[in-house]
A and B are shown apart, each in its own frame.
Chain A
Amino acid sequence: MGAPDRSRPRYAGQLDLRHGAVDMSHGSGGRAMAQLIDELFRRHLGNALLAQGNDQALFRPPAGRLAVSTDGHVISPLFFPGGDIGCLAVHGTINDVVMCGAQPLYLAAGFILEEGLPLAELARIVESMAAACNDARVPVITGDTKVVERGKGDGCFITTTGVGVVADGIDISGDRARPGDAILVSGSIGDHGVAILSQRENLGFETEIRSDTAALHDLVAAMIEAVPEIHCLRDPTRGGLASTLNELAQQSGVGMQIREQAIPVRPEVAAACELLGLDPLNVANEGKLIAICPAKHAQRLLAVMRAHPKARDAAIIGEVFEDPLHFVQMETAFGGNRIVDWLAGEQLPRIC
């Protein structure tokens, strides 16, 4: 917020960020709520549009088509190796907005806080959100805070809505995969899911794996600049690579053939999955994307991706072919062939 804002009330004392906790008054609409917003949310997330101080943020849309996406974040635990719910709520929504080739502009954030959440934890979350917004150059311009009674939430839920703009001439959509197209992935898969799992108290295994949570708009911009002919982009979050490829195959009405040996998986992730009986293809990612483009542009796209810090391990993992049944199939490292199916049921609840 910068300089003291005289339009705001003064408070008896500062928020006790060391020992304090969220209580019902922080969602009441009264002075306590105003103080929480001022001393935590505005202080860290502040920007000119948020400073308008109204129930909405006003801005003039730029030329082009607007892209909007919303995403609720309920991850447990709130803090995990490589990130926390705050930065995840920024990255996740930015990624959803940009998978049509958009440049992200703004975010809106809704917080549902549980009575008893330590203010120190909330401060860490908001600071992490602010850092993610600054890195991404995408500010939170409006927000909302509610508090629910102890036991009715799980610390903190964050819903973020993002808006972006797509330049004319860009046509990226899940229904555009065509037979002959190449399928690329931007890096190793399964890191996020395994990092979260390693923190679940009832699993008790230790790993060096960190979540890959990251905003991918700069990568997407570089990819589109080099290969405007990209047909599809999607981030393989819940359900992992397997479910995302199946979504795209269904939407485009095509089949896909991928090669197990071409898919980047860290040995630690493969080992953890082996131990837990999971398939890395089904495990969630938060900083990876799948790209589908005409085969003749695939090498150029791959080179651009590998030159970008967020896709150093990018790989061409397969191709699209004609298949009236829209199956995704995989040549196993073993030499056989098998179907890669949607994830059935719930592999890991509350992963994002």
Chain B
Amino acid sequence: MHDGAMKYIDEFRDGELARRLARTIAAEADPAREYRLMEFCGGHTHAIYRYGVQDLMPANLRFVHGPGCPVCVLPISRIDQAIAMAVEHGVTLCTYGDLMRVPASERMSLLKSKAGGADIRMIYSTQDALAIARAKAGRQVVLFAIGFETTTPPTAVALKVARAEGLGNFSVFCNHVLTPPALKTILSSAGPDGVQLDGILGPSHVSTIIGSRPYDFVPAAFGKPVVIAGFEPLDVMQSTLMLIRQINQRCCSVENQYTRAVTRDGNRKAQALMAEVFAPRDSFEWRGLGHLPHSALRIADAYADLDAELRFPVVPGQGKEIKGCECPSVLRGVMEPTDCKLFGTVCTPENPMGACMVSSEGACAAYWSYGRFRKPKPAAEAAVA
């Protein structure tokens, strides 16, 4: 992009700095061992592939993709439930774009339901859903809310605004999930049969909300280092170097590379807002990880009148996985996208069988779109050039 700099962005994508960092990483990585680093977030997965970060890494360093893709971990049954709300209750369902193409049971999807006549709208923010509700006083409007701690505060604000304005036709189908329980599940299953990990690249945006403190259990209980990493490719590389240094020194602690946005305690105001509007669920199903205790949020009793699950009850679906789809294993980091028999044969971004192929943050989509074929590049050239 030669037409001028994009202020505050290009600084984090500087090729010269990247090559310097790559040289340092190559020099400090111990050739006698392997480094298996899990990037928890799909945002990191995307950055690694989009900018070709893996090309700049030594051959003995591997990024293992984590479950931090909100679209990917949403169980099929919840999409079935959303479709049922739109079809059986005739509500206007507002959803983020990525969810539209996620396969539901019986080869359905929100996109197909929309084509079949259901009123399903693609929105860019919770404010769009509120605007639709205001404009359509006679219709019930449901916000299909998903995501980790990052997207939870905006949903909380939407609920508070709806309450304040007395928007009787607005409600929220809440699917917000929590990062630490998922991380704990991954680490608990690590071992000879599960995923093998040497360190964790911690979430960026999630950590701006929750802070770095909630990750303390990772070194304490599992003896693994965590580096909270920004989403820009240089952030990923610098955090990788910080992890390598911890691993080499056989120490483990929570370090924060993303200091320009993340503090130890996070955003207290957002946390208070979440605590007011949401309450923890006893258990919630995660695609690939199963039912995890205290891993998700429901709408708090004080706001129960705005809870779409209560307002539009539907019979919970089976949530049938497509046969052969290995999304669950990919999400746990135990399989690479290419290990799945469906990858690139019947499952592509045009015709996704599993959610990991839909979202740009999904490991399969990132791998397919940016990395399914690389020109063989000598490792030495890649690392030292």
Contact = CB atoms under 8 A, between A and B. Distances in A.
A345 B15 contact: no
Contact of B18 (A276, A331, A334): A334
Interface residues of A, number: 36
A315 B3 CA distance: 11
A202 B56 contact: no
A52 interface: no
B5 to A, nearest CB: 7
Contacts of B131: 202
B372 A334 contact: no
B211 to A, nearest CB: 25
A49 interface: no
B49 interface: yes
Contacts of A325: 373
Interface stretch (B24-32, B328-336, B363-371): B363-371
B51 A332 contact: yes
Interface string B87-128: 000000000000011000000000000000000000110001
Contact of B56 (A280, A327, A335): A335
B56 A267 contact: no
A335 B1 contact: no
Interface in B37-65: 49-56
A12 to B, nearest CB: 40
Interface in B366-385: 368-375, 377, 385
Contact of B51 (A265, A313, A336, A344): A336
Contact of B15 (A315, A333, A337): A333
Contacts of B372: 339
Residue among A202, A313, A327 facing the most chain B CB atoms (10 A cut-off): A202
Interface string B6-43: 10010001010011001000000000000000000000
B1 A270 contact: yes
Interface residues of B, number: 42
A334 B350 contact: no
Nearest to B377: A337
A338 interface: yes
Nearest to A260: B1
Given A325-B373, A338-B50, A338-B371, A263 B56 contact: no
Contact of B124 (A202, A262, A274, A336): A202
B373 A334 contact: no
Given A335-B385, A336-B55, A337-B374, 19 more contacts: A260-B1, A264-B1, A265-B1, A265-B3, A267-B1, A277-B360, A313-B3, A325-B373, A327-B373, A333-B15, A334-B15, A334-B51, A335-B55, A335-B56, A336-B54, A341-B369, A342-B350, A344-B348, A345-B101
